[in-house]
Structure 1
Amino acid sequence: MSAGATALEFSADGTVLAVVVHRGVTLFATDDGATLAKFPHEIGGSWTGVGFTADGTRLISASAASVIRSWDVSRWRDPAAARLCERIGGPVTRADWNALVPARFPFRKLCA
């Protein structure tokens, strides 16, 4: 993770961690630490806080320059999960999960 983090926030489902550093906000996958996205800081001020909306589709960030930004993060979700959701066409049931996902991965609620 990033040295010098000033704020951290987990998504409601716990799959994404937003880390605020002087240069911006970085989203990490919590299962493997992979970088999902980076959002740059605003000119004239660094980001000071961050939070996810309750539905997890947007990231709200605040800067020292009094700038509030809303970022669409729905497309930065786990690409494998997105493919599974597309294939199923709706919420993934435990039966769907067991039929399509290797047993070593515990069931997760997806596509709600």
Structure 2
Amino acid sequence: MPFAYQAHVGAAKAGVDHLMRNLALEWSRYGIRCNSIAPGPIAGTEGMRRLEQAADKDTWLKMIPLGRYGAEEIGVMASVLASPLGGFVTGAHVVVDGGQGLVGSSTFNEAVAATLNASTR
């Protein structure tokens, strides 16, 4: 899903997703599983610090159906995928974003536009 001013992030994430799928096909014969995790807004990251400087936290939280940032959920998902629980999973692209991807990019883009408009005044 495209987000304004995030072309570099989208390109990198698409590259990782495609790489993992190719490696899953190539390495499965050796018993090696390859998956990717697409994190959403995660508390304490550089990206969230920058976004919160541009707009208040409540603005960003409104874009997440679960109403909060993620924290340790990315590590939990990685642990599940690496454990026997994920033993039959390969080539998967797992989205862990609190539902942000369900609401589309328009809300994010509107918040970015409002932030840019406010900063040029």
TM-score range, shorter chain: under 0.3
Greater relative contact order structure (CA < 8 Å, 6+ sep): 2
**Greater fraction helix:** 2
**TM norm structure 2:** 0.23
Q: Which has the larger radius of gyration?
A: 2
**Greater fraction strand:** 1
